[in-house]
Structure 1
Amino acid sequence: MYEWLRDYQQIEDEIVYLEYSLERSQRELKRWISGDLAGVKLTAESDGAKLEERIERIERELQIKLTEQKSFMELISKFSGLNHKILKLKYVDGMTLEEIAEDLNYSASYIYKKHAEIAKMIKFAHEIKLTHC
């Protein structure tokens, strides 16, 4: 039903982790080049010697995920219906339910109610899926 939301959140999580991993690896490389480890001799098998390759691999993976995210955003923007709009604005754009209500010209109480209904539908669909697996 709303599997796209789970998939989108998974891509977001993967991007955040890759960005963290890239930053950590770049800091480590800097230590080996000009920091406290600059005088240490590396062997071909050491982790320090493989940092540049790891950074390149992470950068490639990150680019792939960012491209996936962009494609996903294009897909999501084509969805219609109030439920999809609420989910996109809340979980993709990061808006509060009050902001969503104002943006869509509905009362805040109506948007709260719709969001609760959507959450129940998603939970029910997830539970059904788990019992059939």
Structure 2
Amino acid sequence: MKLQWLKDYKELERDIASLELNLERSERELRRWVQGDLAKYKLTEESIASNLEEKIEVIRYELACKMNDQRKILDMISKFDTLENKIIIGKYIEGKTLEEIAEEHRYSTQYIYNKHAQLKKTIRFVELMAI
């Protein structure tokens, strides 16, 4: 079972969270220079804050690209209609409990627990092989 997509998805998730934080901080800093406590100071070309608008645009572009990549991964994996993928998607992407997954797909909770245990062993094995 190839689970590189899950690794890629989780990496994108972390990257997106980091970019969103960076964007929020940059926009907050720009507001300080435009209408806040720093608005009375004049920026020079050499000032770090002088390129905030360009920096914000770069962050927005990178954020949009990563969100698009994440959406493509979800679109791709949604085409794989195996129980294993449904468990992985439910548990690690949608944040559902194994009980919720069992109920949603009409399997016994124990069966889903067993399948999940097998998947975790496979995931660990794949991770070890990647080292």
Classify the TM-score, shorter chain.
over 0.9
TM-score, with length taken from structure 2: 0.94
1: distance between equivalents of 2:52 and 2:130?
42
Provide the aligned C-alpha RMSD in A. Answer: 1.1
For residues 57-68 of structure 1, what are the structure 2 equivalents within 5 Å?
57-68=58-69
Query: How far apart in 2 are the matches of 1:127 and 1:71?
Result: 26
Distance 1:109 1:46 in 2: 61
Equivalent position of 2:70 in the other structure = 69
> Whole-Å Cα distance in 2 between the matches of residues 16 and 70 of structure 1?
15
Q: Deviations over 1:62-91 (max 9, x none)?
A: 111121112111101011211111001111
| Aligned residue number for residue 127 of structure 2 | 126
Q: Report the alpha carbon displacement of residue 129 of structure 1 after superposing the two structures with TM.
A: 2.6
- The letter for the 1-side match of 2:45 is A
- Note the 1:29-68 alignment, pairs <5 A: 29-68=30-69
* Other-structure match for 2:26: 25
Structure 1: tracts of 5 or more residues without a match: none
Q: Could you tell me how far apart the structure 1 residues matched to 2:101 and 2:76 are?
A: 20
- Identical-pair percentage: 49
Map 1:98-113; keep pairs closer than 5 Å.
98-113=99-114
- Please list every run of 5 or more consecutive structure 2 residues that lacks an aligned counterpart in the other structure: none
User: Which amino acid is the alignment partner of residue 89 of structure 2?
Assistant: K
